[in-house]
Amino acid sequence: MARFRCSFCRTPEKPWGIEFEADFPQCPRCHAQGLAVVIPVVKVHFYAPDSQGPIVGAGGRHYRVACSPAFTNPNGIPCTGLPSAVTCEACMRTQEFHKAEDLQAELTGGILLE
């Protein structure tokens, strides 16, 4: 199964549309289909700041993948430090993600960046 987002089915909590898993890009809620409306969602992981993390980023800062702390090679795996761009549900359940999400909301005045 793949993960999709229906851009027709927007809610206050999901302003970019609801997400769902399916074998075919057809929204289970409104039944819209096609890649112009129902968009494939790529799993994007969260880089959690960690002074002992195995991944060294810009400026020598250390990070780890939030859902897989032992993961050491992010090459080819979509990862970001921007909470609003994260789609990995396991990463979104971590305490580090929630801290970063709160900080992003504070810094942007609640405006979501994506």
Summarize pLDDT for 10-69 with one digit per residue, the tens.
Answer: 888 888 888 899 999 999 999 999 878 999 989 899 999 999 989 888 889 999 999 988
All structural domains of the chain with their residue ranges: 1-41, 45-108
What are the residues facing 79 on neighbouring strands?
45
Whole-structure pTM value: 0.71
- In this structure, the strands spanning 45-49 and 79-80 are parallel
φ, ψ of residue 70 in degrees (nearest 5): -85, -10
Looking at residue 76, what is its pLDDT? 79
The torsion of the CA quartet 7, 13, 19, 25, rounded to 10 degrees, works out to -20
Element (H, E) at 6: strand 2-6
pLDDT of residue 112: 56
